[in-house]
Each structure stands twice: as structure tokens, then as C-alpha cells.
């Protein structure tokens, strides 16, 4: 069979002569990597550009069209020691990037106007021998600078306020917009009337500070998206597609259509849904159902994306995603759970719901109060607007995004990625964590459990022989033996095992029957029905390896730490009872259930919620996706299926379970700092409002109070970076 | 005070120039990779590739 790799799906045209490819690269961490990669790729003839983006861990390559095969870049990067894969930015990410660029443009304009208006305001504040004409001149200049800039830079708020009003609701942007527009209108009228005070500087400064908060918020979201995009790309989900009767080509999943025929070799993970049309094998469905024992696959068997093929080669006819019965069921549950997800009201929104009516009522009462006290309408309205300006939520708008930015950076370093903006707030309230077992508490790969009793030399040989097999159990033996050098002259007997000649003796690795080791295998299996066995024989001596999924190395410690924090831990798994019992006993979890279907998982979580518990669900499989959506907050390991990752609020990296704990700790800390910040912001208002109501808030005082409180809140946000746990802090 | 009529617009012009420079640098992709830019500045290699052209359609 011919084998080609086809990445044409990802290649874009810059102009008629130049082609462009974006790759996600793993392991780029420093300037050294950057230079190495750029030099290495630029050395390829006809490559016109190779530039690494160190922030996003991505690489852009451009070359003369038709001169280079894109697969060459991936090979060259592999030689340099980097795993890379082409990626296509998803639309959501492109939109986030555009949005943050727009906010940055607005911020630039607002910052320019703020600084220059200050230059024009200071002479007025200082006063001295400034003539009224000169003061008017400065006011007119301020108007000239601020009005167009505010009109441009205020767009994000105006649009959002307009949307909210059209939907007959009120968000934070409504009082902001009203405050800014009134302040600018009033200042313009005052300027025309040669008055003493105008608030042009306060209005534009407010916009600048608020935009800084918005930009931070947006940047965090964009970073999360970019990282998630890279991870999705690096999973390198490809399928081996038949492009002719016996010609196959490795293509990205995005290029596979329903009705295509794909080849699934032993040890490969299926990336599509479909049904088997030819071949016999065993398949591992654990990612989909949580069931760890292998299932027989033959003509007509349905396979799903995420299924691992074990022993034989299969040909699969791709079906549309909706045809799979199990998948359709899961999707239906998922839709339902997402609809039922009680819309959590973010802290900032709750603050603003309270905020708007209070502020507007205060301003209105101030106006009425002054009129009743005998002031002119004009003076009363000016003071009322001063109240609006000084209470405007500068610090409030920064209070939460600044903390989120700091906390998400700290979480990122602890191996947690945020998928949802309000995940921090929701994770902080968790009092019950529900774990899935397979792939979440256990590592996704298999491991040898009885390696200690096997002589080193035998282990080494078995490992080297295992390198020739694609069978996952054999792969586990090869990994455990840390074998590097495959044996020469290995022949594979499909469905039974592999054999080779070594120093005149025959070595075999495969099923116990194939190696004549049935007795030992049965002894091991009867002692522990959960393991898979693989036998190894040299001549007539044989060894049986027991292989199983191991718990994550720090699972027990992490669960202890959770319990110490007063968080209840439960275990829900689709796997059979003995396996779940074993894990629960090893981890000291008393509340566990086995053989749970996706629908039962949701029902259980709903029941917990009905008891008033705040549930975090941690799961990785397709069967967990609906319950992830149903929980108050959800988390997935990076090895999870696409569907679960898309539904999870948080994604964690690495072999350890510690990030689950880190996520909760950091969230709690961040939440505490957010509350402090809100208190600071409100405290500032409590101090400033009486001054404004008394009619003493000159533009100078307004400017000082606003910038002072914003800076204070920003500095306080930095404290979310560190979490103390039992004396030690997370690195 | 007459000097103000001349100096203030000049100051504003300079400010606008700064703003224009910022908008141009944003547009030409100089904020795409701040971490990388920090390292490029001190790398010995003078062969820094130009930023990629605008996203191809």
C-alpha cells in the first residue's frame, strides 16, 4: 500500500506564489528554542519565512508554492525535538483575538485623550492668574480632544448597554454609558456658558480605566482559547483514509467526510464514528463508556471517536456523528443538561444589578435635595452629575478582571487551564467533588503491576520484543521495561502475539495460550480479575505480566487534601463494581457507585444539587460530558475526549491530580481577593459620595479619587497570585 | 499667554503622533508575541524574520 501524508487542508495562500501554514508546537519555552526552530526551518530551500510566536507557542511558515511538501516541516521539527502539528484557528478564537485588538485600540485612544486632557486641565485646576478667556480656551480644547475620542473609545460600553436595554435588562454598562454621556453633555453646556468646572477629563479617564479592566478580561479569555486550540491541534487527530482501492493517505480529521473508508491499525485510536466493514479485533471503549474490559469488534460493530483498537486491523465506514446510537443518546443528554444549567449570575453582574439603581437613585435624590434646599436647577443638576461621575464604577470595573487575570496566570502555572470566564467564581464555592474513575483518577495508559518480581534480563528482553507489537498491553510492557532497541526479525501472528529468534532460542510475547503459560495466567486472573495479562516465553521458560490502569501517583494525597478542606469526595464510574471498589478502597473514598450510565450520573448530580451541595464534576469520557455540563463546575484532564473538554470549565494537564486541588485553592483565594476588591471599591464610594452630594467634588478631587481607587484595587489584585496551604504555597 | 495658541496645538500634535504610532504598531502585529519580542531583542542573531503578513484569507 502507498502511504502519503496530506496536510493540504491547512495550507493557505498568501499570494499566487506563496503558501502559508500555521503549526502548533509543543515544548517551545525559551529564546533558544525559538532561534533553533527558525534557523532549522529557514535552512530548507524555498522557505521564505519561519517565525515562532513564543506567547502562543505557534509557528508560521511560508514557502514558494509547490516547492516544499508541508509534511517536511513536521519531520524537520521532530528532528529538532519538537512535536508539531498544523492547526486551523477556530472561529471562536479568531473572534476573541479581533475583540481584544479592538479593545486595545480603544484603550490606546482613551489613554491618549486622558493624558492630553490632563495637560489642559492642570492649568485650570492650578488657577492662579488664569483669565476667564484662557480658562474657556482650555475647556474648548479639552472638548475638542475628548468628545471624538470618547465617542470612539466608549463604543464597547455603548454597544453593550444598548444590547442590554433592547433585551429589557440592565448591566454594568448602562450606568457607565449614562454617566459618561451626561458628564460630557453637561461639560459641553458648562463650557458654552463660561462656567468654572468641566468634567471632560473625568469622563475620559473613567473610560480608560474601565477599558483596561475589559482588556484584561478579554486577554485572559483569548489566552485560554489559544492554549486549548494548540492542545486540540497537537492531539494530531488524523485518520488513515482510503483514497483509492489500495492507496491510503493520512489526513487531518477535518478532511474526513461521512461515507469515507478509513483504516484502523492495532494500537490506534479511532478518530471518527462509524461502523466496521471488514476485519476482526478487540476494542477498548473505556473513553466512551468507562468500561475497561475489551469488547469484540467485527463486521457491523459500531465504533466511536475515542475507541482504541487493540489487536487486529479494521476498515471502518465513517458515519455522520448523529447516527451512532450511544453518541446520539449522549448528545441528547448533553443538550438537555446545558439547557438546564441554571444560568449562574457572575459576581460582577450581581454587583452591577444592585449598583445601577442605587447610584441613579442617589444622583436623583441629590438633585431634588439641592432644589428643595433652594439651589438653582442648573447647580443641582451639575452636582447630581458630579455624583454620577464620582460613583462611576471605575474601581468596580477593574476589581474583578484584575483578580481573574492574576489568578488565571497562577493557575496556568499550576497546570490548570480555564475554559470559562466565571469558572473561578464557581469553583470557589465547591463543597463536593465527584470523580469519574477511568482516565481521571487513573492514568490513561496501562502499566505493569508485577514487574518487581521479574528478573531484569527477562524484563528487558520482553520489553524489546514488545516494541514490535501495537497491542496496548504489549506497549505497557515495553514502557515499563524502558526498552529502546527493538529485536530484529520479529514476526507477528495476528490475534496471538509476536515471536523472534534470540541467541538460538525462540522468544514469544502474547496471549498465555500462545506462550504455554495458561496456568500462571489463570492464577493471576483469579487473584485479581481486573488485570489484563500478557505472557512472555523464552524457549520453555515463561513469565506472565499483569497489566492494569494505575491510579495517578498523587491521587490518594490529593483526595486526602480535599477531605481535609472539608470537601466531600465521591466516585461515580461506568466501570464494573470490583474495579471501582478497588480504586475507592485504595483512595479511602466511601461514597462510590459502579456501572453508572450517563443518565444516572446526571440524576445523581441533580440529587446532590437538590440537597444544596455545590458539585464539581471531574471526568474525561464521552459518558461524562453530560454530567460535566450538569455540575456547578466541571473539570477534565487534557487526555479527555473533545466533547468533554468542550463542556468542562477547567482543563488540567499532566500526570498528577494535584491541579484539581490547585484549581479549588486558587479559586477560593481569588474569590476572597475579589470580595476585598469589591469592598475597597464600595468603601471608596461610601467616602466619595458624601463629598459629591455636598457639592464639593471638583474635577480635581474626582480625578484624584478615581485614579487612586483604581490603582489600589489593581495592587490588591496581585495578592491572588499566592495560595498558602499548610505553610507551603503552590509554585 | 499668546505663546499658548502655538504651543498647545503643537503638544496635541505630538500626542496624536504617538497615538498614530501605537495604532500602526498594533495593526502591523507587533503585539502578537510580546514574550518572543522580549527575547528577540537580546538574541545575537540579527536574522530575525519579519512578522508574518496579515492572516491569509
Residue ranges per domain, chain A? Answer: 12-87, 97-220, 235-334, 343-407+669-722, 408-443+552-667, 445-550
pLDDT band at A328 (very low <50, low <70, confident <90, very high): low
Residue of A nearest to B36 (CA): A54
φ, ψ dihedrals at A256, nearest 5°: -95, 135
Residue B51 sits at the chain A interface (C-beta within 8 Å): yes
CA of B45, closest CA in chain A: separation in Å? Answer: 8
Mean pLDDT, residues A600-624: 88
Q: What is the per-residue pLDDT for A336?
A: 66
Find the range with the poorest average confidence among A425-434, A470-479, A566-575. A470-479
Determine the topology of domain A235-334 in CATH.
2.70.150
**Distance between CA atoms of residues A171 and A183, nearest Å:** 19
**Distance between CA atoms of residues A408 and A422, nearest Å:** 11
Residue B24 sits at the chain A interface (C-beta within 8 Å): no
Q: Do A35 and B45 touch (CB under 8 A)?
A: yes
Q: What is the per-residue pLDDT for A724?
A: 67
**Distance between CA atoms of residues A380 and A398, nearest Å:** 30
Model confidence pLDDT, tens digit, residues A180-200: 999 999 999 999 999 888 899
Determine the topology of domain A408-443+552-667 in CATH.
Rossmann fold (3.40.50)
Model confidence pLDDT, tens digit, residues A117-151: 988 888 888 877 788 888 898 899 999 999 999 99
Q: What is the per-residue pLDDT for A372?
A: 93
Using CB atoms, which residue from B12, B19, B51 is nearest to A51? B51
Contacts of A52 in chain B (CB under 8 A): 36
A631 contacts A605 by C-beta, under 8 angstroms: yes
Q: What is the per-residue pLDDT for B18?
A: 94
- Decide the pairing of beta strands A308-309 and A615-618: unpaired
DSSP H helices, A414-505, are 423-428, 456-466, 472-480
**Distance between CA atoms of residues A519 and A447, nearest Å:** 22
**A306 against B6, higher pLDDT:** B6
Using CB atoms, which residue from B15, B42, B56 is nearest to A13? B56
Q: Do A120 and B32 touch (CB under 8 A)?
A: no
Chain centre distance of CA A27:
18
Residue A397: pLDDT above 80?
A: no
- Does the fold of domain A445-550 match that of domain A235-334? no
Q: What is the per-residue pLDDT for B57?
A: 42
CATH of range A445-550; options 3.40.50.920, 3.40.1110.10, 3.40.30.10, 1.20.120.80: 3.40.1110.10
Residue of B nearest to A38 (CA): B49
Contacts of B2 in chain A (CB under 8 A): none
DSSP H helices, A618-657, are 625-630, 642-647
Q: What is the per-residue pLDDT for A323?
A: 45
> Does residue A431 carry a catalytic annotation?
no
CA of A450, closest CA in chain B: separation in Å? Answer: 47
Residue B15 sits at the chain A interface (C-beta within 8 Å): yes
Q: Do B56 and A20 touch (CB under 8 A)?
A: yes
β-bridge partners, A269: A308
What's the Cα-to-Cα distance from B51 to each of A35, A98, A179, B10, rounded to whole Å?
Answer: 14, 18, 41, 34
Mean pLDDT, residues A427-432: 92
Domain A12-87 falls under CATH 3.30.70.100: yes
Residue A247 sits at the chain B interface (C-beta within 8 Å): no
* Whole-angstrom Cα Rg for chain B: 18
Q: What is the per-residue pLDDT for A116?
A: 92
Residue B19: pLDDT above 70?
A: yes
CA of B11, closest CA in chain A: separation in Å? Answer: 8
Chain centre distance of CA A668:
19
Residue of A nearest to B21 (CA): A108
φ, ψ dihedrals at A346, nearest 5°: -65, 150
pLDDT band at B45 (very low <50, low <70, confident <90, very high): low
Q: Do A116 and B11 touch (CB under 8 A)?
A: yes
Residue A325: pLDDT above 60?
A: no
Q: What is the per-residue pLDDT for A329?
A: 64
Q: Do A108 and B23 touch (CB under 8 A)?
A: yes
Model confidence pLDDT, tens digit, residues A217-265: 888 778 777 777 777 777 666 778 887 777 788 787 777 788 888 888 8
Contacts of A226 in chain B (CB under 8 A): none
Q: A201, A422, A436, A624: which is the annotated catalytic residue?
A: A436
Largest alpha-carbon pair distance within chain A?
113
Q: What is the per-residue pLDDT for B52?
A: 66
Residue of A nearest to B30 (CA): A53
Q: What is the per-residue pLDDT for A569?
A: 93
Q: Do B36 and A53 touch (CB under 8 A)?
A: yes
Q: What is the mean pLDDT of chain A?
A: 83
Q: How many CB pairs under 8 A join A and B?
A: 78
Model confidence pLDDT, tens digit, residues A348-388: 777 777 777 888 899 999 999 999 998 898 889 888 888 88
Q: Do A115 and B15 touch (CB under 8 A)?
A: yes
End-to-end CA distance of chain B: 55
A635 contacts A652 by C-beta, under 8 angstroms: yes
Q: What is the per-residue pLDDT for B21?
A: 95
**Distance between CA atoms of residues A153 and A111, nearest Å:** 9
Give the whole-number percent of chain A exceeding pLDDT 90: 18
Amino acid at each position: 500500500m502507498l502511504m502519503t501524508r496530506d496536510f493540504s487542508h491547512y495550507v493557505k495562500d498568501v499570494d499566487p506564489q506563496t503558501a502559508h501554514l500555521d503549526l502548533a508546537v509543543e515544548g517551545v519555552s525559551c529564546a533558544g528554542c525559538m532561534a533553533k526552530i527558525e534557523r532549522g526551518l529557514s535552512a530548507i530551500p524555498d522557505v521564505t519565512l519561519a517565525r515562532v510566536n513564543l506567547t502562543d507557542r505557534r509557528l508560521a511558515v511560508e514557502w514558494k508554492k509547490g516547492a516544499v511538501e508541508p509534511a517536511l516541516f513536521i519531520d524537520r521539527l521532530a528532528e529538532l525535538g519538537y512535536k508539531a502539528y498544523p492547526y486551523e484557528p477556530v472561529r471562536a478564537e479568531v473572534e476573541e483575538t479581533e475583540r481584544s485588538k479592538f479593545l486595545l485600540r480603544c484603550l490606546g485612544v482613551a489613554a491618549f485623550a486622558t493624558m492630553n486632557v490632563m495637560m489642559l486641565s492642570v492649568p485650570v485646576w492650578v488657577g492662579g492668574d488664569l483669565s476667564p478667556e484662557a480658562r474657556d480656551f482650555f475647556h474648548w480644547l479639552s472638548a475638542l480632544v475628548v468628545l471624538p475620542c470618547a465617542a470612539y473609545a466608549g463604543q464597547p460600553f455603548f454597544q453593550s448597554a444598548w444590547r442590554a436595554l433592547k433585551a429589557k435588562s440592565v448591566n454594568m454598562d448602562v450606568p457607565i454609558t449614562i454617566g459618561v454621556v451626561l458628564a460630557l453633555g453637561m461639560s459641553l453646556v458648562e463650557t458654552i456658558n463660561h462656567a468654572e468646572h468641566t468634567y471632560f477629563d473625568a469622563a475620559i479617564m473613567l473610560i480608560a480605566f474601565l477599558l483596561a479592566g475589559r482588556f484584561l478580561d478579554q486577554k485572559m479569555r483569548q489566552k485560554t482559547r489559544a492554549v486549548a486550540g494548540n492542545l486540540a491541534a497537537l492531539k494530531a487527530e488524523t485518520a488513515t483514509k482510503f483514497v483509492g482501492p489500495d492507496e491510503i493517505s493520512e489526513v487531518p480529521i477535518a478532511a474526513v467526510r461521512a461515507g469515507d473508508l478509513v483504516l484502523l491499525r492495532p494500537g490506534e485510536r479511532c478518530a471518527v464514528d462509524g461502523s466496521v466493514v471488514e476485519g476482526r479485533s478487540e476494542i477498548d471503549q473505556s473513553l466512551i463508556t468507562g468500561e475497561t474490559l475489551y469488547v469484540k469488534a467485527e463486521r457491523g460493530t459500531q465504533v466511536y471517536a475515542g475507541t482504541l483498537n487493540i489487536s487486529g486491523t479494521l476498515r471502518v465506514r465513517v458515519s455522520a456523528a448523529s447516527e451512532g446510537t450511544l453518541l446520539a443518546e449522549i448528545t441528547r443528554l448533553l443538550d438537555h443538561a446545558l439547557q438546564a444549567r441554571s444560568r449562574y449570575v457572575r459576581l460582577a453582574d450581581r454587583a452591577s444589578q444592585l449598583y445601577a439603581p442605587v447610584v441613579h437613585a442617589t444622583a436623583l435624590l441629590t438633585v431634588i435635595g439641592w432644589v428643595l434646599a433652594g439651589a438653582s436647577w442648573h447647580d443641582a443638576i451639575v452636582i447630581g452629575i458630579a455624583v454620577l461621575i464620582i460613583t462611576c464604577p471605575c474601581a468596580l470595573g477593574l476589581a474583578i478582571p484584575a483578580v481573574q487575570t492574576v489568578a488565571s496566570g497562577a493557575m496556568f502555572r499550576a497546570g490548570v487551564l480555564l475554559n470559562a470566564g466565571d469558572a473561578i467564581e464557581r469553583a470557589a464555592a465547591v463543597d463536593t467533588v465527584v470523580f469519574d474513575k477511568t482516565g481521571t483518577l487513573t492514568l490513561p495508559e496501562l502499566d505493569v503491576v508485577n514487574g518487581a518480581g521479574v528478573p531484569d534480563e527477562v524484563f528487558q528482553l520482553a520489553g524489546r520484543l514488545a516494541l514490535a507489537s501495537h497491542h496496548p498491553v504489549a506497549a505497557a510492557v515495553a514502557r515499563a521495561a524502558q526498552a529502546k532497541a527493538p529485536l530484529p526479525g520479529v514476526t507477528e501472528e495476528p490475534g496471538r502475539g509476536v515471536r523472534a529468534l534470540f541467541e538460538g532460542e525462540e522468544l514469544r510475547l502474547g496471549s498465555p495460550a500462545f506462550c504455554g503459560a495458561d496456568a500462571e495466567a489463570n492464577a493471576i486472573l483469579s487473584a485479581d480479575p481486573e488485570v489484563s495479562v500478557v505472557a512472555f516465553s523464552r524457549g520453555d521458560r515463561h513469565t506472565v505480566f499483569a497489566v492494569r490502569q494505575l491510579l495517578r501517583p498523587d491521587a490518594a494525597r490529593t483526595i486526602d487534601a480535599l477531605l481535609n478542606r472539608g470537601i466531600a469526595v465521591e466516585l461515580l464510574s461506568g466501570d464494573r463494581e470490583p474495579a471501582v471498589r478497588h480504586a475507592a478502597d485504595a483512595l479511602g473514598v466511601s461514597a462510590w457507585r459502579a456501572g453508572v450510565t450517563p443518565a444516572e450520573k446526571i440524576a445523581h448530580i441533580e440529587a446532590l444539587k437538590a440537597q444544596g451541595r455545590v458539585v464539581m464534576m471531574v471526568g474525561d469520557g464521552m459518558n461524562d460530558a453530560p454530567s460535566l455540563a450538569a455540575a456547578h463546575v466541571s473539570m477534565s484532564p487534557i487526555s479527555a475526549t473533545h466533547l468533554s473538554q468542550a463542556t468542562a470549565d477547567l482543563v488540567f494537564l499532566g500526570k498528577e491530580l494535584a491541579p484539581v486541588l490547585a484549581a479549588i485553592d486558587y479559586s477560593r483565594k481569588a474569590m476572597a481577593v475579589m470580595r476585598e476588591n469589591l469592598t475597597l471599591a464600595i468603601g471608596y464610594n461610601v467616602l466619595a459620595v458624601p463629598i459629591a452630594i455636598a457639592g464639593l467634588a471638583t474635577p480635581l478631587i474626582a480625578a484624584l479619587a478615581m485614579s487612586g481607587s483604581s490603582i489600589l484595587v489593581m495592587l490588591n489584585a496581585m495578592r491572588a497570585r499566592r495560595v498558602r496551604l499548610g505553610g507551603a504555597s503552590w509554585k | 499667554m499668546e505663546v499658548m495658541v502655538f504651543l498647545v496645538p503643537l503638544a496635541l500634535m505630538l500626542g496624536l503622533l504617538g497615538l498614530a504610532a501605537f495604532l500602526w504598531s498594533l495593526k502591523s502585529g507587533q503585539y502578537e508575541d510580546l514574550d518572543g519580542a522580549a527575547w528577540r531583542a537580546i538574541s545575537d542573531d540579527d536574522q530575525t524574520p519579519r512578522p508574518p503578513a496579515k492572516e491569509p484569507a
